[in-house]
A and B are shown apart, each in its own frame.
Chain A
C-alpha cells in the first residue's frame, strides 16, 4: 500500500519553517527498563504561528518540550531525530552552545507559576537574571528592561513590584511574571507547557489573550502544549494530537474540531462536558488507560481502547498519512467524516 506523505502545512510553506523537528524520539532509563516517552514525532512551525500539541497526561507532551529545550532530566535522552533551528541541529549542540540558545532563541513558560519562581529571590532579580545571562547589560539597564517587561505583561506599578517576592504575587500575576521572564530576550520560539492549567478560568482568559498579543507583536512561533481542547480552539492555527509519544492526527484547528478522523481525537472531543447538552446526556470517557511505555509500539498504540479497530491495527503501526490538504491521520480505519457532527446532534438538547 502506498501512503501519501504527510503534507507540508500551508503556513510553513508560505513563511518557511522556523523550527523543524524530524523523527524525534526520547527515552528514559528507569529501573523498570527503558521508557519510550516520545516515539518519532515530526513537525514544523513558522514564525508568528501557534501550534497546539494536545493529549492526555503522560502522552509525552511535556517531555517533547523539555527535549526541545535540551533540559531533559538526567535519565532522559533524545535518542534519534533532529531539531533544526536557524540551520543548526539543537540536539547536537554542546552544553555551552545550547545555554546560549535557551532563553535567548527558544524560551519556555511552565505549568505551575506557584512553584516556577524562586521563593527567596525578588521578581526583579529573577527577571534580571534571564536578561543578564544573554546580554551584556549593566544592572541599571537590566533593571529598566525588567520593569518594562513587567509593565508589558500588565502588572501595574512595575518599578515597585520588581522588589517584591513571589509570595506577594497572586497566581495570575506570577504567571504574568513567568511570561515576562520567558519574553525577556525576545525569543523566536516560545514553548508554553500548559500555561493556564494551574489558573482559574477568568485568569486563564487574560493570560491567553496576553500570550496571543505578545506572539503577534514579536512574530514569534508559539508551541502550546495543553490537554485543554478549549484553549487549543481559541489559540492555535494548527493542532497535533499526541498519544503514546506519537502524533495520531494533525491538521488545522478547524479541520480537527469539525471533522475529527482519528478515533482518539473523536474520543477527546466526546469527553468534553457541554453546557448545551441535554440534561440526561452522559459524558463519554475514553475507556481504559494509556498504554505502558516500556516498549516502542509495534501496533497502533490506541488499538486496545479503540472501537474502530480493524485487523491491521494490532499488526502494524499506522503511518501518518494525508487524507485532505493539511489534515493527516495515523489510522487504518479513520472515523467517517460526518461522525462527529452526527454524534453532536444527538447530544445537544432539542
Chain B
C-alpha cells in the first residue's frame, strides 16, 4: 500500500461532510441556538396558523365587555384581557405576529438584496466604483439608523409598506460594508488566483468561489438584523408612523394605544412588549449560534 493510499484510508474514517453540513451539526448542538429556534419557530407557526389560534377577530370591537368603559385584565375567557375598545388582546397579539415577522423579513430582504449587490460590486470591481459606492454608504451610516428611518418615512409618508422600505434602506449600508470587506479578504485567496489560472470567467469566480466563502458573516448579520428590524418597526409604529388604520394589530401601534392606560391597564403595554422582546431574543440567539458556527475565526481547520 502506497503512502497516499494509507492516507486516504486514514482520512476516510469518520470524515465529516462539507462546510455547511459541519456548521449544521455544530448548530444543532448549541443550546442558545435551539432556544432561539424554538422561539422563532413558535412565532412563525403562530403567524401561519393565526386564524386557527386566535379565538376572536382581532378587529372586532365588543364595547359591552368593557368594565365601565375601561379595559379588563386577563381572564379565563380573554387570556390577555381586552383592550380599550373591547378587542380580545390575545387575538391581536397572535395576528400581530404576522405583521411583525412580515415587516422584519421584508425589511431585511430589501436591505440584504440591495446591500449585497452594492457590496459585491464594490468589493469585486474595486477602484473608483468601490470608493464611490462606499462613500455613499458612509454618508448613510453617519446618520443614526432610526433617525434615517424616520426621515425616510417622513419623505414617503406613513404606512406599513413605507416603514418596511425605511427600515430596509437603513440596513443597506450595513450589509454592503460587511460583504465588501468579506469579499476583499476572500479575493486575496490563492484559490481565486488558481481559478483564474484555470481560465474561469470573472463572474463565475465571484459567484462560485468568492461569494460562498464571503457570505457567512452576512448570514449572521441578517439574522441579527431581523431582530433590529422588528424593534425599529415597532418603534416607528409607536411614533405613529406605522399602519394608519388604528385597528391594525401591529405590536408597536398597540403599545401606543396602551400608552394612556398604563396606570389602570399595564398589561396592555406589557404583553405586546413581551412579544417584541421574545421575538427579538429568538432571532438574536439564532444569530449568535450562527456566528459561533460560521465565524472563520472560530471555525477550526
Contact = CB atoms under 8 A, between A and B. Distances in A.
A262 interface: no
B3 A74 contact: no
Interface string B120-136: 00000011000000000
Interface string B1-25: 0111101100110011111100000
Given A74-B126, A173-B8, A181 B194 contact: yes
A223 B191 CA distance: 20
Contacts of A206: 3-4
Contacts of A108: 194, 197
A120 B196 contact: no
Interface stretch (A3-11, A78-86, A109-117, A230-238): A109-117
A155 B8 contact: yes
Contact of B193 (A71, A104, A130, A182): A71
A176 interface: yes
Contact of A169 (B11, B196, B200): B11
A104 B106 CA distance: 45
Interface in A107-141: 107-108, 110-112, 115-122, 129-130, 133-134
A94 interface: no
A172 B198 contact: no
A107 B197 contact: yes
A99 interface: yes
Interface stretch (B107-115, B208-216, B272-280): B208-216
Q: Which of B5, B190, B204 has the most CB of A within 10 A?
A: B190
A118 B199 contact: no
Contacts of B140: none
A17 B4 CA distance: 36
A245 to B, nearest CB: 20
Interface string A151-170: 00011110011001101111
A118 B209 contact: yes
B186 to A, nearest CB: 10
Contacts of B301: 167
Interface residues of A, number: 48
Given A110-B193, A112-B190, A117-B194, A101 B212 contact: no
B29 interface: no
Given A120-B213, A156-B4, A173-B8, A168 B15 contact: yes
Nearest to A154: B4
B18 A102 contact: no
Nearest to A105: B199
B85 interface: no
A102 B196 contact: yes
A250 B225 CA distance: 61
B195 A99 contact: no
A120 B208 CA distance: 9
Contact of A133 (B2, B16, B193, B198): B198
A133 B11 contact: no
B260 interface: no
Contacts of A161: 8
A117 B194 CA distance: 8
A178 B194 CA distance: 9
A83 B194 CA distance: 21
A165 B190 contact: no
Contacts of B17: 165
Nearest to B18: A165
29 contacts: A74-B126, A99-B199, A102-B197, A103-B197, A103-B198, A104-B199, A107-B198, A115-B189, A116-B191, A116-B194, A117-B191, A118-B195, A118-B212, A118-B213, A120-B212, A120-B213, A130-B200, A133-B198, A154-B4, A156-B5, A160-B12, A161-B8, A164-B15, A165-B18, A168-B12, A169-B11, A170-B11, A173-B4, A173-B11
Interface of A: 69, 71, 74, 99-104, 107-108, 110-112, 115-122, 129-130, 133-134, 154-157, 160-161, 164-165, 167-170, 172-173, 176, 178, 181-182, 184, 202-203, 206
For the complex of A and B, the 6 pairs showing the least CB-CB separation, nearest first, are A103-B199, A103-B198, A102-B199, A130-B198, A115-B190, A116-B190
